[in-house]
Amino acid sequence: MINQNPNNFQSRFSSKFAILLSCVALATMGSTVAIAQTAKPNATANIFNFKGERVGTATFIQTPLGVKVTLQVQKLAQGEHMVHLHEKGKCDAPDFKTSGDHFNPVDMDDEHHDRMQMQNKHEEGKQKPAGDLPNIKVKQDGNGSLTALLPELTLGTGKNSLLKQGGTSIIIHAGANGKSTIPNVDYKTRIACGIIKP
Ligand SMILES: [Cu+2]
């Protein structure tokens, strides 16, 4: 609409109001697009022991606070087991060494990194790898479950993503805190592995 009389207050007012309204509309559209782009896919991992038997399932859900992990296991030895996300999406039996080291990307902005260091210290004052979960406690019947939030990780894009190039995996160890659940097997032994997939 062309304002033909610039001295007409009402007309000037309404065209300014129209511009304001379109700004609000554009801003609203912009944030809708941003929300759509940050909505991340979920992921799962089927976990197998060295014999190829399925011993667990993990699901991964993106939340605004990080990745929420739900782990359920069965047919495992009673006791506490360490659980970590490892840096490669490979699970070659029997030792699962192809899963690589602990997943610990360091691609964080400084503020976030400082906050994480305050929250996440090991006994020795060393920062815990971003993909370390709490130990899972397996009952006498071989079942166990656990949920945890991994605030430094994402299912989106970038180095911190569980779905990054080359993938990631979830590893269950034979024991925790220096104690093994299996006689004559070191507590650090990798006893089960699952590739994390979208
Ligand atoms: Cu591990």
Under the banding of pLDDT at 50, 70 and 90, the label for residue 43 is very high
Q: What is the pTM of this model?
A: 0.72
CB under 5 Å of ion ligand 1: residues: 84, 171
Domain co-membership, 85 together with 113: yes
Domain co-membership, 26 together with 54: no
Strand extents, DSSP E, 27-162:
43-49, 54-63, 66-73, 79-81, 83-86, 136-138, 144-150
What is the number of other CB atoms lying within 10 angstroms of the CB of residue 135?
18
Under the banding of pLDDT at 50, 70 and 90, the label for residue 15 is very low
Q: What is the pLDDT of residue 126?
A: 57
Q: How many angstroms from the chain centroid is the CA of residue 33?
A: 23
Q: Tell how far the Cα of 84 is from the centroid of ligand 1, in angstroms.
A: 4
Domain co-membership, 170 together with 100: yes
Report the amino acid identity of residue 120: N
Q: Tell how far the Cα of 113 is from the centroid of ligand 1, in angstroms.
A: 22
Domain co-membership, 49 together with 7: no
Rounded distance between C-alpha atoms, residue 9 and residue 7, angstroms: 6
Q: Tell how far the Cα of 102 is from the centroid of ligand 1, in angstroms.
A: 6
Q: Residue range 160-185: average pLDDT?
A: 97
Q: Tell how far the Cα of 48 is from the centroid of ligand 1, in angstroms.
A: 15
Domain co-membership, 139 together with 60: yes
Q: Which residues pair with 197 in a beta bridge?
A: 44
> Residue 62: CA atoms inside 13 Å, Cβ hemisphere, count?
17
Q: Domain range spanning residue 152? A: 43-195
Q: What average pLDDT does the structure give for the chain? A: 81
Q: Tell how far the Cα of 65 is from the centroid of ligand 1, in angstroms.
A: 23
Decide if pLDDT at 189 tops 50: yes
Kindly state the DSSP code that residue 140 receives in the 8-state scheme.
Answer: T
Report the amino acid identity of residue 11: S
Domain co-membership, 27 together with 57: no
pLDDT digits (tens, 9 = 90+) for 53-71: 999 999 999 999 999 999 9
Q: Tell how far the Cα of 171 is from the centroid of ligand 1, in angstroms.
A: 5
Q: Residue range 171-198: average pLDDT?
A: 97
- In Å, how far are 93, 132, 143, 179 from 136, measured between CA atoms? 21, 11, 10, 13
Domain co-membership, 48 together with 129: yes
Residue with tokens 């609000």: 24
